[in-house]
């Protein structure tokens, strides 16, 4: 009986070991940029004017959740719905001015404030102002930056200001359809603190 039990335990352990898999540990990965292109300052370029034609992005609403009225959750009033205004009073803005007007729908506006400039972008163009509200770079296609941004107008731009490096960064995606480059995320990093006169590094 003891021999039979020992044989059973041995068979069970051997069976488990035969189905076990060795764990593969992946090492560090390095993904390089396809190319880096340095461009001249926007102040020295002939800018591509913004489009005056109305444009509807994603006309078929692809990728949007299909909502059926009365079928969603929660069945009662949403507990996260704000019922009263906040009590913290925000200071009035120091400066307020009209930025760009977009003829695209949706506009997907984005912008960032730096030390001396405000860079504003939307689904098809961008513009730059100084902090007094003067428009330095008029509404232009982001392809005006050049480099990897040449002929790229797929949109969904994002602008942010890196306070530590004192640089503006612009991003947009490059879709497959009608694009000169494969699907990618394009970056433009200002060469200096002045996005108008410093030039850009594009990736």
Give the whole-angstrom CA distance, residue 62 versus residue 57: 10
Q: Which pTM does this prediction carry?
A: 0.68
Residue 162, domain member (yes or no): yes
Pairing of strands 104-105, 55-56: parallel
C-alpha to C-alpha distance for 89 and 55, rounded to whole angstroms? 38
* pLDDT reported for residue 40: 93
Is 60 contained in some domain? no
pLDDT at 113: 93
**Tokens 């009209």 sit at which residue?**
98
Within-domain flag for 93 = no
At residue 137, the pLDDT reads 93
123 assigned to some structural domain: yes
Write down the pLDDT at residue 23.
66
64 belongs to a structural domain: no
pLDDT, position 69: 67
pLDDT for position 87: 82
Intervals of the chain under pLDDT 50: none
Domain count, the chain: 1
Per-residue model confidence (pLDDT) at position 177? 58
* 76 domain residue, yes or no: no
Look at residue 194 and tell me if it is in a domain. yes
Distances from the Cα of 56 to the Cα of 11, 50, 99, 134, angstroms: 67, 15, 21, 29
Within-domain flag for 83: no
């Amino acid at each position: 009986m003891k021999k039979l039990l020992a044989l059973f335990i041995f068979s069970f352990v051997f069976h488990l070991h035969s189905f076990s898999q060795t764990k593969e540990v992946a090492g560090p990965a390095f993904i390089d940029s396809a190319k880096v292109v340095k461009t001249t300052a926007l102040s020295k370029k002939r800018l591509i004017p913004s489009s005056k034609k109305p444009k509807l992005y994603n006309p078929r609403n692809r990728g949007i959740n299909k909502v059926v009225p009365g079928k969603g959750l929660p069945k009662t009033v949403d507990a996260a719905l704000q019922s009263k205004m906040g009590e913290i009073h925000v200071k009035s803005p120091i400066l307020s001015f009209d930025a760009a007007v977009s003829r695209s729908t949706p506009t997907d506006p984005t912008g960032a404030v730096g030390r001396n400039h405000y860079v504003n972008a939307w689904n098809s163009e961008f513009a730059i102002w100084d902090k007094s509200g003067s428009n330095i770079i008029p509404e232009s296609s982001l392809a005006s930056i050049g480099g990897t941004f040449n002929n790229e107008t797929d949109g969904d731009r994002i602008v942010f200001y890196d306070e530590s490096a004192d640089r503006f960064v612009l991003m947009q995606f490059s879709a497959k359809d009608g694009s000169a480059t494969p699907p990618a995320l394009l970056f433009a990093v200002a060469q200096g603190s002045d996005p108008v006169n410093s030039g850009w590094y594009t990736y």
